[in-house]
Amino acid sequence: MNLLFAATELSPYAKTGGLADVLAALPAALRRRGHSVACVLPLFRSIRETLPDLRPTDLVLTAPLGAGLPSARIWEGHTDRDIRVFLVEKEEFFDRTYLYGPPGKDYADNASRFFFFSKIVPLLARHVRPTPEILHLHDWHTGLVPVLVRAGRLPFRTLFTIHNLAYQGSFWGLDFPLTNLPPDYFSPAGIEFHEHINCLKAAIVFSDRLTTVSPRYAQEIQTPEFGCGLAEVLRERKYKLSGILNGADYSRWDPRNDPLLPMRYSASEPDAKRLSKDLVAKQVGWVPSGAPLFCLISRLTAQKGIPLLLEIIDEIRKEDGRLVVLGEGDPHWQESLLGLAREFSNSVAVHIGFDEAFARLLLAGADFLLMPSLFEPCGLTQLYALRYGTLPIARETGGLADTITSWDPVAGQGTGFLFQAPVASAFAEAVQRAKAVYRDPPSFRAMRQQAMRQEFSWERSAAAYEEIYQRLLGGAAAD
């Protein structure tokens, strides 16, 4: 099959979250299965600075944007996995420090930026060879593409993947002229939602098929608790919605061959994990210790459960427990965590920003990974942590529930510690259970070995997407 992926992130060239890792790994897995796969992204500044073999083409595409008629030159390159990638150059839109806006803020012209990108995608698809049969679209930034394909009766099938329903691309109705769609599209049956343009709703309504990134999340987003206002829209279209679990790229994330680790280890030869723990301590200015080491590697937002973490810091610090946080996000939560690090400098360390080498060392050295997310569509960090033998302590939601088995001391089985209620007391109780296993070395070793032997490969995910592509090409459009 001939596939064109459209998204705004691709690791390691443009990344704010797990979407970038998906776009790096899934096209490569599909290509290994014999399909023709290419990707299209905006030519962000970070991509221009880091993507090798990047070159301009002679192709210039023009799309209406309200009363204007802007053009974009198409560039071409190949990723480090030899996936062909097309880049949409529009410097006033994409040559910026951040992809979407500074931390905690969005650029004021995001409607113009991503409406334009969405318009270029189907125009470009007509020039790609071999011609794509399916446009596989990701998150709200490409949400208008299915609308444009349907409105223009273009010869493509559309599959839209929801990576996080909370981010919807909602803009004032006054921006509707920028879409250049007929007026009747701005209606409850179209892309209007509470008098706003809603790009995610547009994709849900007009795409031929929908997927999201775990089976549990596909069910959750049809409920008021997790539906972010769109639960009814999704329930009405559940016939075209599937949940496909994201995978882990073990060619990049495996302590047996990780080039960024100072020492390698495996489930059968785990000794170097303890040495990695000592290195983490030294790197943050602590004396190495045999006490439990917790880590959190995440965006620092309320969704990721940072308020819960702040409430149970005393529980983590009991019995000489230590915590290292790596991430960035909401300035309020960043400052709250930094305040803890100043107050408890011998047991709490916080690094604002993202450092991949340090992230991998943390995964290798920590005993436990904290993921107290209020909701989690899939999560990739827990998949990596399992392979690195770092046991997740996580809320039982979304992909966390699909990938972590809570420890059963009677059966001696489990790969992590789950809690259900999104409250501090439940999180603290899960931390207590983890510490109890840590104090029982045989159980802790057995649990760690079970975790490291879990398999969540992209090959399995690619096969599931392949089935959906085949159904798309074999049947009529969904609506």
pLDDT above 90 coverage of the chain, percent: 94
Band of pLDDT at residue 475, cut at 50, 70 and 90 = low
Residue 396 pLDDT greater than 50, yes or no: yes
Q: Do both 284 and 205 map to the same domain?
A: no
* Shared-domain flag, residues 70 and 171: yes
One-letter amino acid for residue 234 of the chain: L
DSSP lists the bridge partners of residue 4 as: 38, 135
Rounded mean pLDDT, 452-474: 96
Same domain, 367 and 304: yes
Whether residue 178 contacts residue 199, with contact meaning beta carbons closer than 8 Å, is answered with: no
Same domain as 237, residue 308: no
Judgement on whether residues 39 and 61 belong to the same structural domain of the protein = yes
209 plus 243 within the same structural domain: yes
Does residue 290 share a domain with residue 167? no
Domain membership flag for residue 231:
yes
**Can you name the residues that pair with 294 across neighbouring β-strands?**
323, 368
- Residue 107: inside a domain, yes or no? yes
Q: What is the pLDDT of residues 89-103, one digit of tens each?
A: 999 999 999 999 997
Domain for residue 374, yes or no? yes
Q: Are 119 and 143 in contact, with CB atoms under 8 Å apart?
A: no
Q: CA–CA separation, 178 vs 63, rounded Å?
A: 11
pLDDT at 43 over 80: yes
Residue 238: CATH number of its domain: 3.40.50.2000
Distance CA 210, CA 430 (A): 34
Residue with tokens 């919807």: 168
pLDDT surpasses 50 at 3: yes
Examine the pLDDT at 451 and tell me if it is beyond 70.
Answer: yes
Q: How confident is the model at residue 478 (pLDDT cuts 50, 70, 90)?
A: very low
Q: Is residue 370 part of a domain?
A: yes
* pLDDT for the residue numbered 23: 97
Query: Do residues 170 and 83 both lie within one domain?
Result: yes
- From the list 317, 380, 319, 384, the residue with the least C-alpha distance to 349 is 317
293, 366 Cβ separation under 8 angstroms: yes
Question: Domain check: are 151 and 276 in the same one?
Answer: no
pLDDT tens profile 192-245: 999 999 999 999 999 999 999 999 999 999 999 999 999 999 999 999 999 999
Q: Are residues 6 and 67 in the same domain?
A: yes
Q: Does residue 345 lie in a domain region?
A: yes
Is 266 inside a domain boundary?
Answer: no
Interval 110-132: pLDDT, tens: 999 999 999 999 999 999 999 99
Is 462 found in the same domain as 442?
no
| Domain span including residue 38 | 2-247+458-474
In a domain, residue 260? The reply is: no
The structural domain count of the chain equals 2
Write the pLDDT tens digit of every residue in 9-20.
999 999 988 899
Same domain, 284 and 396: yes
Q: What is the pLDDT of residue 17?
A: 85
Q: pTM of the predicted model, to two decimals? A: 0.93
Q: How confident is the model at residue 104 (pLDDT cuts 50, 70, 90)?
A: confident
Question: Mean pLDDT for the chain?
Answer: 96
**Largest distance between two CA atoms of the chain:** 69
Bridge pairing between strands 71-78 and 84-89: antiparallel
pLDDT, position 380: 94
* 143 contacts 160 by C-beta, under 8 angstroms: yes
Select from 366, 410, 374, 409 the least CA-distant residue to 394.
Answer: 374
What is the Cα gyration radius of the chain? 23
Would you say residue 390 has pLDDT above 80?
A: yes
Give the full edge-to-edge strand order of the sheet including 348-352. 348-352, 322-327, 293-297, 368-371, 391-395, 417-419
Q: Count the Cβ atoms, other than its own, within 10 Å of residue 410.
A: 5
Reported as a pLDDT band with limits 50, 70 and 90, residue 41 is: very high
Instruction: Scan for tokens 């959906």, then name that residue.
Output: 468
Q: What percent of the chain is modeled with pLDDT above 70?
A: 99
- Residue 271 pLDDT: 84
Asked if the structure places residue 265 within a domain, the reply is no
